[in-house]
A and B are shown apart, each in its own frame.
Chain A
Amino acid sequence: MANRLSVTGGRVIISKAGYNAEASLPDAFKVFDSAWGISGLIIARGVVNVPTDVVSVTIPFPQQHYVPYAEVYGFYDDNKTYMVPGYCTTNAIICGWTDYNPGNNTVPRIIDGQLRYIVYGISQ
């Protein structure tokens, strides 16, 4: 049975099933290595419903000690997706746009009133 956890010399490595956790193990066979800068943390995710025809939406998330990286997707026509531009603070995404709308490039708005968002545990 593989030894999947290694804590040595200030470094923590967790391997995938079937592989021994050790410093020489290729990254592809690791679940986690503290030598990596990031590990796919998700601070927040979810769906917000907002009134249609708005151009700016604020999505709060738990306060962080840094400004994380975030993405917001808009949905329309039953699961088609587009990305919504915006910016992030330490506790909220402020998203909206000024000149883009699939199928209609002159009237900015949220097409069906639903946004899905992800806040990654990544420092900017």
Chain B
Amino acid sequence: MTNRLRIGHLFGQPGFYISQPGDDVNAPTQALALDTRYETMDIHHYGRRRYNRQVISSLNTTFFTSFGEEEFPALGYEPMYMFTTVRVSDGNWVRYPLGIYSTGTAFPQNFIFELRGNRIWTTFEILNTSAPVYDFVYVIFKNRWV
């Protein structure tokens, strides 16, 4: 049976270590499930929103642009965050990475995310007006950037 829990020295430092299922904590090959040398991410607030899409005609192209604003309980400092989009049709695909510019593709791009105080603002574009609907998904953590 695989040893998965170790309280004591590992990697030259004392701590509380738990390996992933099937991975030997004394000689792990995967990331650890718990490693007290490091902090863990703590979720403060998260949400999923479907913003209206506006059709923009510019020069030789027509594209969708979506934008919106969200509010979350203030933390008093700039927290870490994660954001992405989820393709509503086709089984809720998550598109990653964001922001790779590619004319004519049906994926969100030119993504701008702004966090200030207890509010976030987001805009993104889809350079194909036959593209499916995408939801905006965000997670605000309790952890600080610095």
Residues of A within 8 A of B (CB): 10, 12, 32, 34-43, 45-47, 64-66, 68, 71, 79-83, 85, 99-100, 102, 105, 116, 118, 120-123
Known: A12-B5, A34-B33, A34-B34. A42 touches B40 (CB 8 A): yes
Q: Is the CB of B18 within 8 A of A12?
A: yes
Q: Is the CB of A47 within 8 A of B100?
A: no
Contacts of A39 in B (CB 8 A): 33-34, 40
- How many contacts between A and B, using CB within 8 angstroms? 99
Residues of B within 8 A of A (CB): 1, 4-5, 11, 18, 20-21, 28-35, 38-42, 80, 82, 97-101, 110-116, 143, 145-146
Q: Is the CB of A34 within 8 A of B145?
A: no
In whole angstroms, what is the CA distance A121 to B11 when docked?
Answer: 15
Contacts of B110 in A (CB 8 A): 102
Q: Is the CB of A40 within 8 A of B42?
A: yes
Contacts of A123 in B (CB 8 A): 20, 29-31
